[in-house]
A and B are shown apart, each in its own frame.
Chain A
Amino acid sequence: MKFFFAVLRKIGYALLLLVAVLVLNFMLIHIAPGDPVDTLVGEMGGASPELIAKLRADYGLDRSLPEQLFTYIVNVAKGNLGMSFTYDQPVISLILDRLPATLLLVLSALVMAVLLGTFLGVVAAQKPRSPFSHFVTILSLAGYSAPVFWTGMMLLILLSYWVPLFPSFGMSDVGARESSMAYAVDVLRHLILPAVTLASIYLAVYSRLARASMMDVLGSDYIRTARSKGLSERVVVYKHALKNALLPVVTMAGLQFSQLIAGAVVVETVFSWPGMGQLAFESILRRDHTLLLGILFFSTVIVVVVNLLTDLTYRLLDPRIK
């Protein structure tokens, strides 16, 4: 029962957070000069003031800001995220269209960063002063400190321009009507560079974390016991120590999900990956308020849900957390 109420309270907070995100973002967006009609006029190569006024009225942009905000929130509460000014399509369908691409990118990067990072960290932890350990430290720090767009550009120049192994843009060869297997291979080919780029930042975090926590665990009593039983080093490390050393890594993975989505904006722009990040970036440039708010709303929902799940998992795993 107590658990049930705790969940209810969490959901209540989450809803409050969502409203706050909407209102705050709405205000932030309107600090930037201009509105979507300016962009339209730019694309048309100019327009008469009469047409501009008509467009503003059509889109309801001539009303006061509080009025616009109120209408927007009422619509969202009804489950209607509105129409995009740029594409003249419902925001929700644009987002759902792009969501799979972003999820694919973010999840691949996350899995790659966690698996590879943990592996490197664990190996490094076994011989903390070895050249390999130093190499891992340098590699992860370099990945962490290099701007993500720079990493992306360098990979493009290296593996797409000099050695044309991978395509330089997009998620698939549009129009290559092939079998679903061939399509999957095609997407994979397009996925590798952006996923590696996005993973490069987080690789550092996980390898450092895994290294530290592994060294910690390796020094504990039960490991000494295991060793004194005469178990091989491999069994000690991968069977006994790893499980415990993984806990902080898993925590971090849950927490960092939101940052990954933010990183995706940059990576998607560099690699022309047709995901939500690219859509968000463009909607800012075009002052497409409804689209941007919709994307922010959606990302907030995803992050809130992931955090809720992480929280609940803890409660189930570790009864000490109340």
Chain B
Amino acid sequence: MLGPVDHVETPDPYTAVFKLSKPHPAFYLVLSPPLLPILPRHVYNEKEHGPIRKNPANVKPVGSGPFKLVEYKPGDHFILERYENYFRPGKPYLDRIIGRRIKDPSANFIALKNGDFHMAMFNAGIRLKQLEALKKMGHLVVSPKGYEGIAAIYFLEFNLRKDQFKDVRVRRAIAHAIDKDFITKKLHGGYSRPATGPIHRSLPFYTSNVRKYEYNLEKANRLLDEAGFPRKKGGFRFSAGITWYPGEPDSMDTIAHYLKPQLKKIGIDLKLQPPADFVSWYRTVAGWKHDLTMSNIFSFADPMIGVHRLYRCDNQKHVVWTNTSGYCNPKLDQLMEKAAVEMDFEKRKALYARFQQILTEDLPLIWTHEAPYKTIYHKDLRNVVRGIWGSMTPADSTYWKDGHTPR
């Protein structure tokens, strides 16, 4: 993200001049608070104070935001209080924010219902279908806004190093066996949208003009025959294991369980390999040991920040959320390089349209759906989520509606 930054000049205390070695179309996004928080040099200078991760200020942060930390119990709660010398005069409006970390989704659900929480982010771990019940309570707003920057997109990843998936016809056959509408309408109760390709709808570079794979089992079966995987005794052509990122059951476990009977219909014996926990999944996928995995990425507002990493030939790393599928297309690499220095929006958009077309042809992944996260908050709270980064930006404009008395 900051690769092209050559050096930074600071002519006066309020100005920073970034000198770049090459054009950087996503530079202003990189400067937004969630991606580049400003740290005080006198506290975090690595030469004097050692590695940032071990800096004692990490548990007693010194920042530039609208609130100051007055109490922190790791893994349990923190209390923020209004900072009177905040650089935007008159702000923030709230006197205090109490943050609590509750991992149990049912506890979160009950606490939201009972009014113990006035706001929760990232669905609070609550299942998509239960969000409807929260909405119906009347005092809560369930809003998909504020996650346009994150733009999470969910996909089925092939490990292209495995013989079964080397032929694009196999991957296309599997795509034809997935009914995306069934996933979004039935399994998710309308709380998600089908994805068409590698770029999320909320990014300005999205195009729907790509190769699409309609639900068609007959076609899928024919493609598998052509690819040289005839049905053997017992009706199966080959078998494959599927694992998934743990922690988002609706978008991961549910899809894997849906895929098993679906793929059986086209003669693929899918073996469910539930991950024991995050680190176990990490080791499997980062070790390129998976056949298939359900996963997702955050796009971080610009493809060059969050999307390229899955497809670049040189980014096949033993780390998750890199190019763990083992895909490599030099033509696509060239396209990404061009798009990463193209300052003209329209030209860049055209490059990314081509990008989406190539990837939907090659199909190293099957992008199943987009499920925008939800912020759940009390209806009397105002200015809760603003901008594409939503609740990841300073809450300096949030306030209670006149007449509301928080309990």
Contact = CB atoms under 8 A, between A and B. Distances in A.
- A and B bind: yes
Contact of A285 (B111, B114, B277, B309): B277
Interface stretch (A86-94, A135-143, A225-233, A256-264): A86-94
A272 B59 contact: no
B107 A169 contact: yes
Nearest to A272: B102
B320 A156 contact: no
Contacts of B317: 48-49
A38 B279 contact: yes
Contact of A34 (B58, B96, B116, B280): B280
Nearest to A33: B283
Interface string B271-289: 0000011111011001000
A58 B277 CA distance: 25
A16 interface: no
B107 A38 contact: no
A293 to B, nearest CB: 17
A39 interface: yes
A174 to B, nearest CB: 5
B110 interface: yes
Contacts of A88: 53-54, 58-59
A32 B282 CA distance: 12
A-side interface size class: 35 or more
B75 A279 contact: yes
Contacts of A169: 100, 102, 104, 107-108, 110-111, 116
Interface string A28-72: 000011110011011001111100100100100000000000000
Interface string B384-401: 000000000000000000
Given A49-B319, A161-B113, A285-B278, A58 B54 contact: yes
A87 B278 contact: no
A101 to B, nearest CB: 9
Contacts of B96: 175
Interface string B46-60: 000001011000110
Nearest to B70: A175
B103 interface: yes
A204 B19 CA distance: 72
Nearest to B306: A45
A270 interface: yes
A206 interface: no
Given A87-B75, A285-B278, A168 B319 contact: no
Given A58-B54, A175-B79, A272-B107, A94 B116 contact: no
Contact of A33 (B104, B114, B280): B280
Contacts of A310: none
Interface residues of B, number: 42
B102 A161 contact: no
A277 B286 CA distance: 30
Contact of B74 (A35, A39, A87, A269): A87
A168 B108 CA distance: 8
Given A87-B74, A153-B106, A168 B320 contact: no
Contacts of A89: 59, 74
A156 B106 contact: yes
Interface in A116-168: 153, 156-157, 160-161, 164, 167-168
Contacts of A46: 309, 319-322
Contacts of A167: 111, 114, 116
A282 B106 CA distance: 18
B355 interface: no
Nearest to B116: A167
Contacts of A285: 277-279
A294 interface: no
A170 B102 contact: yes
Contact of B279 (A34, A175, A270): A34
Contacts of B74: 86-87, 89, 94, 97
Contacts of B318: 49
Interface centre among B71, B107, B114, B279 (most CB of A within 10 A): B279
A271 interface: yes
A272 B104 contact: yes
A170 B100 contact: yes
Interface string A269-295: 111101000110010111100000000
Contacts of B277: 284-285
B67 interface: no
B404 interface: no
Contacts of A274: 73, 75-76
Contacts of B322: 46
Contacts of A270: 104, 107
B107 A41 contact: no
A287 B282 CA distance: 12
B77 interface: yes
Given A88-B53, A279-B75, A41 B319 contact: yes
B98 interface: yes
Contacts of A161: 110, 113
Given A32-B276, A39-B278, 20 more contacts: A38-B279, A38-B283, A41-B282, A49-B319, A58-B53, A86-B75, A88-B54, A89-B59, A97-B74, A156-B110, A168-B107, A169-B100, A169-B102, A174-B100, A272-B102, A272-B107, A274-B73, A274-B76, A284-B277, A285-B277
24 contacts: A41-B282, A42-B279, A42-B320, A45-B298, A52-B319, A55-B53, A87-B74, A88-B54, A89-B59, A156-B110, A157-B106, A167-B111, A167-B114, A168-B107, A168-B114, A169-B110, A170-B77, A174-B79, A174-B100, A269-B103, A274-B75, A282-B75, A284-B277, A285-B277
